[in-house]
Amino acid sequence: MYAHCWLALGVDHEPLSLVCTGPVSRETGAFDLGLQVVDAYQRRGIGAALVRHPAQYAQDRGAHTLSPYTEASNQPVLRLLRRLGPVREMPQGAHLALRLPLGVSGLVHRPS
């Protein structure tokens, strides 16, 4: 299975952000999460809004966890992820492997 990516464009058709997700090869039920937002457009809610789509996409394909990986010093991403739900952080040198459970994060719509 491959990763799927979505690109958000501004009114001038310039890229504003990119978000990708796909299964983690050695962790059943976990989907990788990659997110980038152009510096000038950060802190506007774009990242939070964009994470919801791949979260739903992952859960629809059997995932229970999103698995972002970032530099431990990347405070904007860490603040965003911590706001989205309970995050388990696993230090790996200067980086963090994170786990964001989909079932308790409020990121995805639960069937009623």
**Residue pair 35/18 in contact by the 8 Å Cβ criterion:** yes
Q: How many CB atoms lie within 10 A of CB 31?
A: 27
**Residue pair 47/26 in contact by the 8 Å Cβ criterion:** no
DSSP annotation of 111 = P
Residues 6+ apart with CB under 8 A from 69: 32, 95, 96, 97, 98
At 1 the pLDDT is 64
3-class SS at 69?
strand
At 4 the pLDDT is 92
User: pTM of this prediction?
Assistant: 0.83
Quote the strand ranges of 10-108, DSSP E: 15-23, 30-37, 65-71, 88-92, 95-101
- Give 21-69 pLDDT, tens digit per residue: 999 888 899 999 999 999 888 888 888 888 888 999 999 999 999 999 9
- Give 60-112 pLDDT, tens digit per residue: 999 999 999 999 999 988 998 898 888 999 999 999 999 999 976 567 655 54
